[in-house]
């Protein structure tokens, strides 16, 4: 998944958080729904920022961690700061600190109240964090390599010669360009193939033969004789055919034949 797609999903998740805040009907101590909405948005927004910051910090320290492990660690690392931030927000707006009314302050230790607050806000914080983590999970799923057959993937791609139907019989001895077709002559047959001469030659190994003309390729084992007539050089093949050798390929042909006869 592309980075921009992940950012779009993250924005969708953030908007979903705002919708969650818009449908919160818990008692907030405010007289108007607008104040309740703003209070809830700020509270959930603080949790979002703490989670995203904790996740970025954990990823910088634990680059090899899985998406699930990093998410769980970020939720745990950001939960206590989130609860303390909510408590500070409650104090700032005049809400009962840690959810305790005045008559309850002396009835329960603050440590016990904090533990209850950690438990009370856990489901809210975990739900929001999982919503924000969803784009990252989708991104990790989209970038996972698909299971493939190792044996199949190691096979070479098909070539033009290998996909000819029916398959060519025998060893390729001579390839000749004929307009839009290529005549392929083997030890047992000769056939016209709709293809480009250069594409066919590119698939033939250098060890098997060589190009001797802009329109001809011959196998080394097919060369029976080399004849010179003035500036003209021709090859006689084992099939009895005669193939011209162009000036640009003459030196290479002669050197290959000299090495073969040595």
Q: What is the mean pLDDT of the chain?
A: 78
CATH 3.50.50.60 fits 172-261, yes or no: no
pLDDT at 24: 52
Measured CA distances, 103 to 22, 96, 100, 111, 127 (Å): 31, 11, 8, 17, 32
Q: Where are the domains positioned within the chain?
A: 3-144, 172-261
Contacts for 248 with CB less than 8 Å, ≥ 6 apart: none
Measured CA distances, 239 to 173, 176, 221, 242, 243 (Å): 9, 14, 11, 9, 11
Per-residue pLDDT, averaged over 101-114, amounts to 59
pLDDT in tens, 156-183: 566 667 777 788 888 999 999 998 899 9
Measured CA distances, 96 to 27, 53, 81, 89, 236 (Å): 12, 28, 18, 10, 105
Cis amide linkage into residue 203, ω under 30° from 0? no
Per-residue pLDDT, averaged over 221-235, amounts to 91
Q: With bands split at pLDDT 50, 70 and 90, how would you rate the model's confidence at 148?
A: very low
pLDDT in tens, 174-220: 999 998 899 999 999 999 988 889 889 988 988 899 999 999 999 99
Q: With bands split at pLDDT 50, 70 and 90, how would you rate the model's confidence at 259?
A: low
């Amino acid at each position: 998944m592309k980075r921009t797609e992940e950012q779009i999903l993250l924005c969708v998740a953030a908007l979903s958080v705002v919708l969650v805040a818009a449908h919160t009907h818990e008692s907030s101590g405010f007289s108007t729904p607008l104040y309740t909405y703003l209070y809830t948005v700020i509270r959930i927004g603080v949790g979002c920022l703490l989670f995203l910051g904790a996740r970025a910090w954990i990823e910088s320290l634990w680059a090899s961690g899985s998406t699930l492990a990093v998410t769980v660690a970020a939720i745990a690392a950001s939960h206590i700061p989130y609860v303390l931030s909510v408590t500070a927000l409650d104090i700032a707006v005049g809400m009962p600190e840690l959810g305790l009314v005045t008559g309850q302050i002396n009835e329960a230790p603050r440590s016990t109240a904090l533990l209850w607050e950690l438990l009370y806000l856990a489901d809210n914080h975990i739900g929001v964090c999982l919503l924000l983590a969803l784009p990252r999970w989708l991104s990790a799923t989209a970038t996972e390599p698909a299971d493939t057959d190792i044996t199949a993937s190691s096979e070479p791609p098909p070539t033009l010669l290998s996909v000819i139907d029916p398959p060519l019989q025998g060893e390729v001895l001579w390839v000749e360009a004929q307009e839009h077709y290529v005549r392929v002559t083997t030890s047992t047959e000769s056939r016209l193939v709709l293809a480009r001469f250069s594409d066919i030659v590119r698939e033939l190994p250098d060890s098997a033969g060589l190009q001797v003309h802009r329109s001809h390729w011959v196998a080394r084992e097919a060369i029976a004789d080399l004849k010179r007539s003035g500036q003209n050089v021709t090859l006689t093949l084992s099939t009895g055919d005669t193939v011209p050798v162009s000036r640009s390929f003459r030196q290479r042909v002669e050197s290959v034949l000299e090495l073969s006869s040595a």
